[in-house]
Structure 1
Amino acid sequence: MNFDITELGVQEKYRLLNGGVTPRPIAWISTRSKSGVDNLAPYSFFTVASCNPPVLLYTQVNQRTGVDKDTLQNLRETGECVINIVNSHLLEQMNQTSASISINESEFDLAGIEQSTSRTVAPPSVKGSPIRYECTLREIISLGDLPAGGTLVLLDVKSVFVRDDIYSEKGINQELIDSVGKMGGDGYSFTTKYLALNRP
């Protein structure tokens, strides 16, 4: 079946993109508002934009209200965040933080998530996360103001935490991260099987 994008509605386009580009890594982003409230929210439109300089990228899919999510509002005001990588042990708590709550409430409190102090930025880190990237805001690029439009957020990596047991002189042990990926709809995938192929 082929789909002509010009003939599709917003939700149809969203489902075709969200359901086909899978699995996607999850950026569990912690920020702190100017008033000192700690926010934590998951974003699955997330990747590495550059390694030199080290830059990460996530996309905020615009809400129907046209109002930026708390994460982006906080980044605009303070310019700092932490991207916490999600493993299977954190999946349930991560899912809880996708709930819509007041900007004056903290998802850390809502989901009972233990914090740790970050080294280079003010927002706290998720203590149980195996890999954490402390970042500052580099650039915000709007691809459109319509509902489900994208706002690209580029983040400069300032510090990286890797849990001791998953790191060696060869780098991060991919089999031990236990990463969770986002599928379409409410689905998730697990990295329970790892296969390495030599490049030709």
Structure 2
Amino acid sequence: MNFDITELGVQEKYRLLNGGVTPRPIAWISTRSKEGIDNLAPYSFFTVASCNPPVLLYTQVTQRSGIDKDTLQNLTETGECVVNIVNSHLLERMNATSASIAIDKSEFDLAEVEHSPSSVVSPLSVTDSPIRYECTLREVISIGDLPAGGTIVLLDVQSVYVRDDLYSDDGINQQLVDSVGKMGGDGYSLTTNYVALNRPE
């Protein structure tokens, strides 16, 4: 079956992209508002943009209301965040933080997420996250402001935390990370099976 994009509605396009580009890593992003409210929200349109300089990229999909999510508002006002990597232990609490709550409430409290101070930025870190990237805002690029449009956010990595047992032989042990991926709809994938293939010469 082939789909002509010009003949599709917004939700049809969203489902084809969201359901086909899978599994996607999840950036569980913590920010702090200028009023001092701690925010925590998951984003699955997320990847590495550059390793030198180290830059992460996530995309905020424009809500039907057209109003920016708290994460982007906080980032543009304070310029700091933490990207917390999600493992299976954190899956349900991460999902709970995707709920829409009042701007003066904290998702850390809503989902009972244990937190700790970060090393070089003011937003809190998720204590049980196995890998955390403390970042400053580099650039915000608007792709479209219509419903389901996208805003690309580039983040400069300033500090990286890796849980002690995960780091060996100058790298992160991929079999132990236990990272979670986002599928289409309400689905998630778990990295219970790990396959390593040598690259051909």
Inter-partner Cα distance in structure 2 for 1:190 and 1:78: 34
Matches within 5 A, 1:154-193: 154-193=154-193
Once the two structures are TM-superposed, the CA of residue 72 in structure 1 deviates from its matched residue by 0.1
- The DSSP-based 3-state class of the residue aligned with 2:81 is strand
Inter-partner Cα distance in structure 2 for 1:25 and 1:197: 20
Once the two structures are TM-superposed, the CA of residue 41 in structure 1 deviates from its matched residue by 0.1
- Amino acid in the other structure paired with 2:105: E
Inter-partner Cα distance in structure 2 for 1:104 and 1:88: 29
Inter-partner Cα distance in structure 2 for 1:98 and 1:66: 17
Instruction: Report what 1:91 is aligned to.
Output: 91
Q: Give CA deviations for 1:26-56 in whole Å, capped at 9, x if unaligned.
A: 0000000000000000000000000000000
- The DSSP-based 3-state class of the residue aligned with 1:17 is helix
Matches within 5 A, 1:9-88: 9-88=9-88
Matches within 5 A, 1:63-142: 63-142=63-142
Calculate the TM-score normalised by the size of structure 2: 0.99
Inter-partner Cα distance in structure 1 for 2:168 and 2:197: 20
Q: Give CA deviations for 1:151-180 in whole Å, capped at 9, x if unaligned.
A: 000000000000000101330000000000
The yes-or-no answer on 1:4 pairing with 2:30 is no
List alignment gaps of at least 5 residues for structure 1.
Answer: none
Inter-partner Cα distance in structure 2 for 1:177 and 1:102: 33
- Amino acid in the other structure paired with 1:167: Y
- The DSSP-based 3-state class of the residue aligned with 2:15 is helix
Equivalenced residue count is: 200
Inter-partner Cα distance in structure 1 for 2:95 and 2:186: 10
Q: Give CA deviations for 1:103-151 in whole Å, capped at 9, x if unaligned.
A: 1000000000110100000000000000000000000000011000000
Calculate the TM-score normalised by the size of structure 1: 0.99
Ranges of 4+ aligned residues in structure 1 off by more than 6 Å:
none
- The DSSP-based 3-state class of the residue aligned with 1:91 is helix
- Cα RMSD, aligned residues only: 0.4
- The DSSP-based 3-state class of the residue aligned with 1:99 is coil
Inter-partner Cα distance in structure 1 for 2:38 and 2:175: 31
